[in-house]
Every structure is written in C-alpha cells, then in structure tokens.
Structure 1
C-alpha cells in the first residue's frame, strides 16, 4: 500500500463536502482512513476540524486525533468538544496517546477532562503525566497483558482472553509474581504449542530486555532496534511491571529525534514548529544568526590582516570562496555522520578515536584530489605553478581540518554534556573559514610575494 499524499483533488472534494450537509460530509470521510483524515486536517481551520470530529464515531475520531501531528494542536480540538463527546474520545484513546495530548493543556483543562472520564482511565493517565515526556515512563502505555508464573496453560489463556478485550493489539505476554514483579516473557506461539499440563513457569523466557522509567527515549529506541523487539517492558527499581513501549511509539520517537537533529545542525531551535508562522521562525533563528555573525568576524579579521597580500594578488579572492565553501561542505558531511553515530550509540574512547582518524583520512584523500584539480585549474587559467601549489596545500589542509573538526568537535561537546548537534555547526564553520583563509593567504604572502 502506498503512503497517502494530499493532492488538490482531495482538498477540493473536502471543501465542497464542508459546504454541504453533515450526511454528505460523513459519506466523503468514509472514503478515507483515520490517519488520512488526520493529514487532511492540516488544511482545515479549527472549526472545520471540530465539526468533523463531532460527526465521526468516537472510535474513529479518537484515531484521527491520535494520528494528528502535535504541531497542529489536537489538544485544542479536544478541549473545545462537548463534554460527552470528549469523554468518549479520551476513553477510546490508548493511555500513552491520551497522555501525550492532555499533557499539552494547562492544569485546569487537564483537570476538566480527567474528572469527566472513567476513574481507572483517569488514574492511569495521571500516573503517566508524572513522567518526563522524553523518557521510557513518558513513552510507555500502561495497558498490557500479564499472567502469573504459577498459572496453568489453560488459566493463562483464559486470562489473556479476558485482558485483551480492551486492547487493540499486543505482541508479548509478560509474566509476573504475586507482587507484580516482572519474572519473564512468553510468546503466544510457545504458549499455544506447550502441553496442556504445562505451567507458565515451564515456558517463560527469563532472558529479556527491560528499561526503567527514567531511561531516555533514544536509548529505548536503540534497544528495540538492536534486539529486534516489538515491545519492551518498563519497570520500577523493584522490578514492578509498569507498562510497555511498542515499536509504533518508537517510530514516532525516531522521526522526532531525526527532525530535531536536522534542525539543530542547521542552527534552528527544536522549539520552532515546522508549520509555524514567520514570527516564530524569526524568533527561533535570529539568535543563532547573531552568533554566526560574531564568528564570521573572526574569518573577516583574517582577511583584513592580509589586505596587502590581496591587493597585490587580486586572483586570490576567487580561490578564497572555493576553499572556504569546500571546507564548510566537508565539515558538514563529517559532522552529520558523527552526530548520527553519537545518536545511535554511546561511542567508547576507542571508537571516537577511530571516527576522528577515519575523517582525517577522508579529508586527506579528498583534499589531495580536489587540490590537484585546483592546481591544474591555476596552471591552465593563470599560468602560475606556484599559485597552484599554494592553492593545493590550502585546499588539502582545509579539508583535513574540516574532517577532524567535523568529527572531533561533536565528540568533545558530547563528552562535556553539551548537545553536539546544536553547537557544532557554528564552531566548525568558523574553523574551516579561519584556517582556510589563513592557509591560503599566509602561504601566498610567503611564497608568491
């Protein structure tokens, strides 16, 4: 099945249906999956969204709201619904999805929603609201299937059937003791294949991966990926089973983390919404541009220092832009690869050393090749082999610096607990500009004058 993409025809049909009767609108909506309706919502105002949510059955409406990107504020739709409709939707939501949406509201609105819903649902959501949103506790769903190790096969199957009635789907059955402490896991396949006389304790797997509530969401994602898990249990310090994190939640985490890293590397605050207005974008980006302006003065001061050299060799500015630009691109490549490696794994000192050594080698090789090309260009167009030599050395040296800076700086920042994605790009740009100009102008002043 291909992914859904909004086209002009979909928008036109929806707008036409919105001008018609409720039955005409509902008839059109039935043509779309709930996740597709959530995407279409991005093109509607809140009143139109509210009308559609009120029309849809609560089961479908809850799926639409849970599928909405948080940037489009599903919490505002939810709080503005009639109390009865809102209650039905919240009670249909998985606890983790309900928590994510309700957490975006202020305390007064949170209280208004939670006091209207089932007491057990409210208790579970309040518990999840206590955890930081970017941890395993904030990510987990407290709805799960669990059986006791002392149960027989028949008792376990009966218990699974009873518990699964309120769950959409599950992948793993967790085994606990009488105090709800996690003992192991069993698969449905092994349970069904076991002998009728078997006990859960006979078939449980005691070798399992688990996380505690305060573990960062990136670590949870890495564990699920590393061990090819569909879900991972979340426990407290006493190994009491609290919930589970499933792979569909992790997909959202990976998208969020990747977007965050891309924005940071580009010098954009993670707080800037992709769909936000221009004022929010200016507020987010201007501080980084100001910082970049300050670092640009460092590169400019190098050029000012060699004014006399540039006056005598007017060809140099043409090559300055090439060397600085190539250095910046090479450094960004090394930075992107290194930040990605840091995101996926906590690198050991040996791995960090090999990463820098690799980028040094890449910079040396690429610098030599690009330097030779520029040497030939200088020889062909400027008929000056010494100029070609200066440019060759400056280009090779700057690409080496770019590789080392692009890999070493994020590793150093990570070591001192500074986010490498958000701080590295400005530092390495300054490195490549300053050293690129120093190498070219310094060598030119010594060898060409």
Structure 2
C-alpha cells in the first residue's frame, strides 16, 4: 500500500461533499482512512474541519484529531466543538493522546474539558499533565494490562480479559506485586501455554528493559530501537509501574527529533512551524542571520588586512570565493555526520578521537584532490604555475581545517553542555570563511609578491 498524498480529485470530492447533507458527507469520509482525513485537513478551512469532525462517528473523529500534526492546531479544533462532542472525543482518545492535546491549551480550557469528562479519565490525564512532555512520563500511556505475580494461569486469564475490554491492543503483560512494583514481563502466549497451576511469577521474564519516568524522550527512542521493542514499561524510582510507551509513540518522537536537528543545523529555530506564515519565519530566522552577518564582517576584515595583495593580484579574489565556498561545503558534511553520531549515542573519548582523525584524513584527501584540479585550472587558464601552487595549498589547507572544525566544534560544544546542532554551524562558517580568505591571500603575499 502506497503512502497517501493529497490529490486534487480527493480534495474536490471532500469539498463537494461538504456542500451536501451530513449523510452524504459521512458516506464519502468513511471511504478514507482516518490518517488520510487528517492529511486532507491541511487543505481545509477551520469551519470545514469542524463540520467533518461533527459528522464522523466519535471513534473515527478522535482518531483524526489524534493523527493531526500539532502545527495544524488540533487542540483549537477540539475547543471549538460542542461540550458534548468534545467530551466524547477526549474520552475515546488514549490517555497519552488526550494529554498531548490538552497540553496545547491554556489552563482554563484544560480545566473546563477535564470537568466535563468522566472523572476516572480526568484523573489519569491530570496525572500525565504533570510530566514534562519531552520525557518518558509525557509519552507514556497509563492504559496497560498488569497482573499480580501471585495469580495462577486461570486467575491471570480472567484478569487479562477484564482489563482488556476497553483496550484496542496490547503487546506485553506486566507482572506486579501488591504495591504495583514491577516484577517482570510476559506475553499472552506464555500464559496460554502454561499449566493451570503455574503462577504468573514463575512465567515472568525478570531480565527486561524499562525506563524511568523522567528519562528524556530521545533516550527512550534509542532504547526501543536498540532492543527492537514494541513497548517499554515506565517506572518511578521505586520501580512502581506507572505506564507504558509503545513503538507508534516513538516513531513520532524520532520524526520530531530529526526535524529539530535539521532545523538547528540550518540555523532555524525549532519553534518555527513548517507550515507557518512569513512573520513566524522571520521571527525565527532573523536573529541567526544577524549573527551570521557579524561573522561575515569578521571574514571581510581578513580581506581588508591584505588590501595591497588583492590590489596587485585581482585574480586572487575569484579563487578565494571558490576556496571559501568549498571549505563551507566540506565543513557542513563533517558537521552533519558528527552531530548525527552524537545524537545517536554519547561518544567515548576514543570514538571522538577516531571521528576527528577520520575527518582530518577525509579533509586532506578531498582537499588535495580538489587542490590539484584548481591548480590545473589556474596553470592553464592564467598561465601561472605559482598561482596554481598557491591555490593547491590553500584548497588543501582549508578543507583540512573544514573537516577538523566540522568534527571538533560539535564535540567540544557537547562536552561543555551546549547543544552542538544549534551553535556549530555559525562557528564553523566563521572558521571556513576566514581561513578560506586568509590562506590564499597570505600564501600569495609570501609566494607571488
């Protein structure tokens, strides 16, 4: 099955159905998956979205809202519904999805919704709202199946059936004691195959992976990926079972973290919405551009220091642009690889050393190769072998420095507690621009004048 993309015919079909009666609109909508409707919402007006949510059955409506990207403001859509429809949808949502939605609202709207819904649901959502949204507690769902380790097979099966009545799906069973302390995990297959006199405690796997409630979501994602898990239990410092995180939640986290890293490396604030307006974009990007402007003046000051050389050898200016540009590209490559390695795992001193040496060798090889090319062009086009030598040395030197800075700067920033994805690009651009101008000018001064 191919991924769904918004097609003009689909959009026209929905638009036409919106002009018809509710029964016809519902008939058309139910031919689409809820995730597809959420994608179509990107092209619809707020009043059209509201009409669709009111027409859909509660189960489908809740899934559509849960599937919507945060930047399309599903929480605002929820607030604009009638109290009855809103309450039905929130009660239908998984606790973690409901918490994500309510966390986007101000305190008064949150409390109003929580007062209107079932009190047990409200209590669970309030508990989850207390956790930071970027931690395991903010990701977890308190809907899970737990059985007391003292129960035998038949008693455990009865308990599983009772608890699973309102759950859509579950992957793992959790064994606990009387105080809800997590003892281990087991599968439904283990229970079914066991003899009737066997207790749950005899079946559990006590070597299991778990996360503390305050662990950062990126670390949770790494653990689930590392151990190929479909879900992972969340506990407090006393090992009391609080909830579970499923792989579908982690997919969203990985997409969010990757987008955040890409934006940071590009000098764009993570607060900028990808579908936001131009004012939002200006507010996000302008501060970084101003900082870059300051570093550009620093690079320009290098040229000012060699005005005599530039005046006597005007051809050098054309090659300076090439060398500085190549250095910037090479540094960006090294930076992207290093930041990605850092995001996947904390590098040991030895791994950091290997990374730096690798980028040095890459820079030297790529620099020498490109240096030969630019030297050949200078020798042929300008009939000046010494100019070719200057360009060879400058290109090689700048790409070595580009590789070294692209690798070392993010490692140093990480070591001192600064996010390497945010600050690295500005520092590295300054280095490669300054060195890209300095090397050819200094070498030309020494070897050509």
For this structure pair, what is the TM-score category when the shorter chain's length is used for normalisation?
over 0.9
Distance 2:11 2:32 in 1: 13
Q: CA RMSD in A?
A: 0.8
2:138 is aligned to 138
Give 1:37's aligned residue: 37
Q: Give the aligned partner of residue 99 of structure 2.
A: 99
Q: What is the SS of the residue equivalent to 1:363?
A: helix
C-alpha deviation, 1:373, in angstroms:
1.1
Deviations 1:363-414 (A, max 9, x none): 1111111111111111111111111111111111111111110111111111
Residue 215 of structure 1 aligns with which residue? 215
Q: Which residue of 2 aligns with 1:54?
A: 54
CA offsets, 1:307-347, max 9 Å, x none? 11111111111111111111111111111111111111011
Partner of 1:353: 353
Match of 2:121, SS state, is helix
Give the aligned length. 449
Aligned ranges 1:44-443 → 2 under 5 Å: 44-443=44-443
Distance 1:372 1:227 in 2: 47
Q: 379-388 or 421-430: which moved more?
A: 379-388
**Counterparts of 1:19 and 1:318, CA distance in 2:** 62
- CA shift for structure 1 position 178: 0.6
State how far apart, in whole Å, the 1-side matches of 2:362 and 2:191 are: 53
What is the deviation of 1:233?
0.6
Provide structure 1 residue ranges, at least 5 long, that are not aligned to the other structure. none
Aligned equivalents of 1:24 and 1:316: distance in 2?
Answer: 71
Determine the C-alpha separation between the residues in 2 that align with 1:321 and 1:244: 54
> Which residue in the other structure is 2:13 paired with?
13
Counterpart CA distance in 1 for 2:384 and 2:154 is 89
Deviations 1:251-286 (A, max 9, x none): 000000000010010100000001110001001100
Give the TM-score normalised by structure 1: 0.99
1:25 aligned partner: 25
Q: Give, in whole Å, the separation in 2 of the partners of 1:145 and 1:414.
A: 40
- Aligned mates of 1:175, 1:347 — CA distance in 2: 36
Cα distance, 1:16 vs structure 2: 1.4
SS of 1:174's partner is strand
Unmatched 5+ residue regions in structure 2? none
Q: Secondary structure at the match of 2:274?
A: coil
SS of the counterpart of 2:432?
A: helix
Q: Which stretch has the larger CA shift, 153-162 or 61-70?
A: 153-162
| Alpha-carbon shift at residue 154 of structure 1 (Å) | 1.3
Displacement of 1:103 = 0.5
Instruction: Report deviation, 1:66.
Output: 0.1
Report the secondary structure of 2:175's partner residue: strand
Q: Secondary structure at the match of 2:5?
A: coil
Q: CA deviation at 1:23?
A: 1.8
For residues 153 and 389 of structure 1, the distance between their equivalents in structure 2, rounded to whole angstroms, comes to 81
Q: Secondary structure of the equivalent of 1:133?
A: coil
Summarize deviations over 1:240-261 as a string: whole Å, max 9, x none. 0000111100000000000001
CA distance in 2, matches of 1:444, 1:19: 73
Q: Which moved more, 1:187-196 or 1:76-85?
A: 187-196
Q: Distance in 2 between matches of 1:371 and 1:160?
A: 69
Aligned equivalents of 1:331, 1:44: Cα separation in 2: 42
Aligned to 2:447: 447
Structure 1 stretch displaced more, 14-23 or 364-373: 14-23
1: distance between equivalents of 2:335 and 2:442?
Answer: 27
The alpha-carbon deviation at position 305 of structure 1 amounts to 1.0
2:183 and 2:358 map into 1 onto residues whose CA distance is: 44
